[in-house]
Chains A and B, each alone.
Chain A
Amino acid sequence: MQRVNQTLRQLPVWVVYLLGALPAPWLFYQGLTGGLGVDPIEALEHRYGELALQLLIAVLAISPLRRFIGVNLLKFRRALGVLTFAYVSLHLLVWLVLDVQVPSQIWADIVKRPYITVGMVAFVLMIPLVVTSNNLSVRKLGSRWRNLQRLVFPAAILGGLHYVMLAKGFQVEPLIYLSLIIGLLLLRVPFPRLLTRLRRADSA
């Protein structure tokens, strides 16, 4: 594991930014030139959304990976988080500009359609995260920064839920995303500590 971590340490963060950013223009180009099929608007919207969820799952996996397997990817967490937000924004932009098009309908959709409301709340929760994703904020906010960054947990659940809610019929793929998200969050619950505390409370 040490050798894995040593190799990872040599990988510069900008490589992650670059590799993570590449699909955005590539997919857009594909959409323009027919590579995304005959309904490129829906395809682009969905592909950006799926990439955002995949990156989000990667972000959530970093701390359990270190704790349970010993692989240290902490160095790349900020990059993956910022990329997640970028793809959520692109997903939202495609929806606004290319899909819905009518500005008056956008607000109506946000208020009236629960899956859109849920998606929008997830997006809004992520704004403070990306705004404070710099060293200055980490220093200035101190321990509050850690607490603030926990907003990623509700944002992730809402993001997964958004996908489940928009599926027609009973579909497996969105449920896999949501289960992965919930599973990764459950790994963070300190069950043994909770148990001891409960036991202590019992005997007292």
Chain B
Amino acid sequence: GVGLAHLAQGASAQEALEPNAWEEITSYNNYYEFGTGKDDPVRYAHALTTEPWSVRIDGLVDNPGDYDFKDIMSEMTVEERIYRFRCVEAWSMVIPWNGFELADLLNMAGVQEGAKYVAFETALVPDEMPGVRYPVLDWPYREGLRLDEAMHPLTMIATGIYGRPIPNQNGAPLRLVVPWKYGFKSIKSIVRITVTDVEPPTSWNMANPREYGFYSNVNPNVDHPRWSQASERKIGGGLFAKRVPTLMFNGYEKEVAGLYEGMDLTKFY
């Protein structure tokens, strides 16, 4: 944890990050299990039962099993990280997350030799999720990271915002946060984490591989086929908000560029 807090500070030192208001962070969400409108999650996500909650950790780990959320929390050290959040739709926020490093959780389970990727799965509760009646995506929502991305000190599991428990619409009770990737990589309400040796299928990539790659790193030089990624609209600026340039790796280039050395980022988008 110590090295990580330091890194996160390094990233934020380039520019003092002014977090968005609680109201903005918790009323404007993409969580398609509750509907495709930005205000659907805040309207419907309260129905999701988040207590009790357990996460199945399996695959190439020493201690596979169902981990109770409370037991996980008793093992982890929660800290605050103020990160930029850049949606693939070209809007952005700054969010003060509370949580722990994913690496700490993976180390608790014991990553085995030969592991290369980590796969994640969101809860699928049709009775509590009105959006999954429609085949917007192939449910349940799935995401994945390369193991080195997952173990990176910036990668965290968030369980709170502004020191309060994370609201359902933001992915309660625990979600991934990978600040240098487009927001959809930061999968919500995780029920399963699988350590594996093959690249796992991921929801948006399955739905449209031309538009959403496995990596989906924030990159102002690689456009989405349907819109430019060169700039973004910061939420909170009102009707006349000026667009601002999007930063390479969302401003975390110094910390993460090394992960992709020698890779053609226009091919591995």
- 8 Å CB contact of A38 from B27, B36, B137, B207: B27
The dominant DSSP class at the A interface is helix
In the complex, chain B residues 79-121 whose Cβ is within 8 Å of any chain A Cβ: 89, 91
A40 near B243 with CB under 8 A, answer no
| Residue A202, interface by CB 8 Å | no
Q: How far is the CB of A183 from chain B (nearest CB, A)?
A: 21
Q: Which residues of A sit under 8 angstroms from B136, Cβ to Cβ?
A: 169-171
A172 near B38 with CB under 8 A, answer no
- 8 Å CB contact of B239 from A32, A105, A115, A167: A32
Which of B89, B239, B243 has the largest count of A CB atoms less than 10 A from its CB? B239
Q: Which residues of B sit under 8 angstroms from A114, Cβ to Cβ?
A: 226
Inter-chain residue pair count (beta carbon < 8 A): 67
A32 near B238 with CB under 8 A, answer yes
Which of A41, A44, A109, A115 has the largest count of B CB atoms less than 10 A from its CB? A41
| Residue B233, interface by CB 8 Å | yes
A98 near B240 with CB under 8 A, answer yes
Interface size on B, residues (CB 8 A): 32
Residue on A nearest B88 in the bound complex, by CB: A168
Interface string of A147-172 (1 = CB under 8 A from B): 00000000000000000011111111
Interface size on A, residues (CB 8 A): 29
| Residue B32, interface by CB 8 Å | yes
| Residue B28, interface by CB 8 Å | yes
B231 near A102 with CB under 8 A, answer yes
Q: Which residues of B sit under 8 angstroms from A105, Cβ to Cβ?
A: 228, 230
- 8 Å CB contact of A172 from B23, B134, B233: B134
| Residue B135, interface by CB 8 Å | yes
Q: How far is the CB of B236 from chain A (nearest CB, A)?
A: 6
B239 near A44 with CB under 8 A, answer yes
Q: Which residues of B sit under 8 angstroms from A128, Cβ to Cβ?
A: none
Q: How far is the CB of B100 from chain A (nearest CB, A)?
A: 28
| Residue A70, interface by CB 8 Å | no
A169 near B233 with CB under 8 A, answer no
With contact pairs A109-B227, A170-B136 given, residues A39 and B36 touching in the complex (Cβ less than 8 Å): no
- 8 Å CB contact of B236 from A38, A99, A170: A38
Q: List 11 A-B contacts (CB under 8 A).
A: A32-B238, A37-B39, A38-B23, A39-B28, A39-B91, A41-B239, A44-B239, A114-B226, A165-B226, A169-B32, A169-B36
A102-B243, A109-B228, A172-B134 are known; give 13 further A-B pairs, CB within 8 A.
A37-B28, A38-B24, A38-B27, A38-B236, A39-B38, A39-B91, A42-B38, A42-B233, A99-B233, A113-B226, A169-B36, A169-B208, A173-B36
